[in-house]
Amino acid sequence: MDVSVVWTINARTASVDKAVESLAEIQEEGFRRVWCTQMPNEPDALTMLTVAGWEVPEIEFGTSVLPMQVQHPMLLAQRALTTNAIIGPRLHLGLGLSHQVVTEGMWGVSYKRPVQRTNEYLDGLLPLLNGEKVSSAGELVTTRGALTIADVPAPPVYLAALGPKMLGIAGSRTAGTVTWMTGPKTLRDHIAPTLRTAAEAAERSASDVRVVAMLPVSVTDDADGARAAAAEQFAMYDNLPSYKAMLDREGFTGPGDAAIVGDEATVADRVRELGAFGVDEFVGILFDRDRETRARTRALLRTLDA
């Protein structure tokens, strides 16, 4: 199992220089890949990682996740291929549908028929990424045309898929899924088997798809304090239906229970357990404000990256 960390580019005091500096530190520590989140009110992740990737060679990037509703498949294909043209084939393109409160409340875009929208979006995006002409007229998303961006490798595409229908799309059409606030039993009993069954039904190998699991993590001697901090920092996810369903399925009382916290041995055991449960890559979100604790956590995660 690969082990990665979230590269934070979205702090209020974020700057390009600080982003490059922090990415260089992560690469020097030996991590092979970072994932960056995309919130609707924060810096554009693809732009930031393209600039930082130009300055910091070799390390790979994942987006977790870019919203589909506010960018046409052709626009996203242009942006993703341009990124790979600049930094080399280091991008892993994680996509998602965001949430109804965001799409309808902030953007004025309907959240209805998410499965159909996702399929129609991929009908346009995937051929364009692979250098093919596309003519796909959907009810929600229509894509026609081709790009003249030659000899640029297509990034693997992941879906933020949690429910069975979305996992079916991810398993049959993409490189896998990226999860958040999803605990070990749910990953073992629902996410991994549903994804891989869908892959096999589409005549793909189960090994063709990957489960990327993101969870808060803290190596600390104050586990109760860390859980309380996680509960406070990630409280919003208890009110978003897709994540609330995952927390309930696991039997968690809230986001604090999803955090992996404890001393080095405890955290190491819980992260390794995820690999045994079908996770291909664990992505740790370091939520402590204490720089020393964050360094301690990152040091342990680096040792677990096989």
Provide the residue ranges of all domains of the chain, joining segments of one domain with +: 1-159, 161-305
Q: pLDDT class for 291, splitting at 50, 70, 90?
A: confident
Nearest to 161 by CA among 208, 210, 200, 216: 210
Q: Which residues pair with 62 in a beta bridge?
A: 35, 92
> For domain 1-159, is the CATH number 3.40.50.360?
no
Residue 155 clears pLDDT 90, i.e. is over it: yes
Burial of 249 (0-12, 13-18, 19+ CB in 10 A): middle
Please tell me the CATH code under which domain 161-305 is placed: 3.20.20.30
Say which range, 1-15, 72-86, 103-117, 161-175, has the weakest mean pLDDT. Answer: 1-15
Per-residue pLDDT at 52: 94
Say yes or no: do domains 1-159 and 161-305 share a fold: yes
Per-residue pLDDT at 10: 66
Q: pLDDT class for 289, splitting at 50, 70, 90?
A: confident
Question: Which helix (H) or strand (E) segment is 213 a member of?
Answer: strand 210-219
Residue 66 clears pLDDT 90, i.e. is over it: yes
Q: pLDDT class for 12, splitting at 50, 70, 90?
A: low
Per-residue pLDDT at 293: 92
Q: What six digits make up the tokens of 39?
A: 């919130």
Say which range, 10-14, 136-140, 158-162, 295-299, has the weakest mean pLDDT. Answer: 10-14
Q: 263 near 221, Cβ under 8 Å? A: yes
- The mean pLDDT value of the chain amounts to 94
Per-residue pLDDT at 102: 87
pTM for this prediction: 0.96
Residue 14 clears pLDDT 80, i.e. is over it: no
